[in-house]
C-alpha cells in the first residue's frame, strides 16, 4: 500500500517509519489530521490519547466527526479508522485526560519515539513538555488554530520565537520563567487572531487540518533525516 511513498523515500526509510512509535495527545481538529497523515505515511505504532466524545460542533474541522460517529469516544473512532487504513497498525487507545497526576507515568510507560501534543489545555501542555524533556523524547506541540483564516501563516519554530498566538504567549512566559533550556518545537501561526466576543473560539476546516498535516510532515521528515 505504500508503493507510491516508497518511490520517493526508498524501502530503508519506509522501514524506519514503520518501526517508529508516535504518541498523539488530543484527537481533535489538529490531532485527527496528524494521526491520519502519519498512518497513511507508514507509521504502524501509535498511542492515541483523548477523553472526549465526538460532538456535532466538531463536524466543521475534525476528520473523525461524521453523523455516524457523533456521541462516540474519539479514541474509539480514530482507532477504527486507523485499522481500516492499515490493519498492520498496533494502536493503543487511551480514553483519559492527561494532567499532573499521570502525564509523566503515561509517557514513561510507553516511551514513544515521538510525542505530538495536539491538546488545548495549558496545564497538560506544560506536563507533556516537562516529561518529554525529562525522558529525552522528541516533542512537537501545537499552539492555537482558532480564530484564524490563513493556513499559509502556519510555521514550526521553537516556542521562544512565537508571536500573535495567545496560547503560545502563556507557554512562552512559563518556559522563560522556569528557565527551561531544552528546545521546544511548536506549530504556530503568526496571523493575528480575529477578535470575537465569545470565549469559545471560531474555527475553519482548513487551518487545523493544515496544522495537522504540517506536523505530520515535520515528524516524517525528521525520521527520514535522522
Residue of 223, 219, 208, 220 lying closest to 31 (CA atoms): 208
What integer pLDDT is reported at residue 188 of this predicted model?
Answer: 98
What integer pLDDT is reported at residue 213 of this predicted model?
Answer: 98
For residue 225, give the H/E element and its range. helix 207-225
Q: Residue 142 pairs with which residues in a beta bridge?
A: 187
Tell me the average confidence (pLDDT) per consecutive run of 10 residues in the chain, 226 residues long.
Answer: 97 98 98 98 98 98 98 98 98 98 98 97 98 98 96 98 95 97 96 93 97 98 96
User: Any idea what the CATH number is for the domain that residue 168 is in?
Assistant: 3.40.50.720
Pairing between β-strand 114-117 and β-strand 21-25 as defined by DSSP bridges: parallel
As separate numbers, helices (DSSP H) first and strands (DSSP E) second, the chain gives 8, 7
Q: Which domain covers residue 193, as residue numbers?
A: 3-225
What integer pLDDT is reported at residue 25 of this predicted model?
Answer: 98
What integer pLDDT is reported at residue 226 of this predicted model?
Answer: 86
What integer pLDDT is reported at residue 140 of this predicted model?
Answer: 98
pTM recorded for the entire structure:
0.97
How many structural domains comprise the chain? Answer: 1
What integer pLDDT is reported at residue 189 of this predicted model?
Answer: 97
- DSSP assignment string, 74-97: HHHHHHHHHHHH-TT-EEEEE---
Amino acid at each position: 500500500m505504500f508503493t507510491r511513498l516508497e518511490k520517493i523515500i526508498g524501502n530503508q526509510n519506509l522501514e524506519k517509519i514503520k518501526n517508529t512509535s508516535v504518541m498523539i495527545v488530543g484527537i481533535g481538529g489538529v490531532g485527527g489530521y496528524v494521526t491520519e497523515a502519519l498512518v497513511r505515511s507508514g507509521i504502524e505504532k501509535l498511542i492515541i490519547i483523548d477523553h472526549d466524545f465526538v460532538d456535532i460542533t466538531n463536524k466543521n474541522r475534525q476528520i473523525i466527526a461524521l453523523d455516524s460517529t457523533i456521541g462516540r469516544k474519539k479514541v474509539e473512532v480514530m482507532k477504527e479508522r486507523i485499522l481500516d487504513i492499515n490493519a498492520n497498525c498496533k494502536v493503543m487507545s487511551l480514553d483519559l485526560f492527561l494532567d499532573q497526576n499521570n502525564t509523566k507515568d503515561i509517557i514513561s510507560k510507553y516511551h514513544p519515539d515521538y510525542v505530538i501534543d495536539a491538546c488545548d489545555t495549558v496545564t497538560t501542555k506544560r506536563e507533556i513538555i516537562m516529561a518529554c524533556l525529562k525522558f529525552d523524547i522528541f516533542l512537537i506541540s501545537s499552539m492555537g488554530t482558532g480564530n484564524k483564516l490563513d493556513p499559509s501563516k502556519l510555521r514550526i519554530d521553537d516556542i521562544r520565537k512565537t508571536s500573535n498566538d495567545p496560547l503560545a504567549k502563556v507557554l512562552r512566559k512559563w518556559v522563560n520563567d522556569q528557565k527551561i533550556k531544552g528546545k521546544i518545537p511548536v506549530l504556530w501561526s503568526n496571523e493575528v487572531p480575529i477578535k470575537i466576543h465569545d470565549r469559545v473560539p471560531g474555527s475553519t476546516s482548513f487551518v487545523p487540518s493544515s496544522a495537522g498535516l504540517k506536523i505530520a510532515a515535520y515528524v516524517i521528515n525528521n525520521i527520514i533525516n535522522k
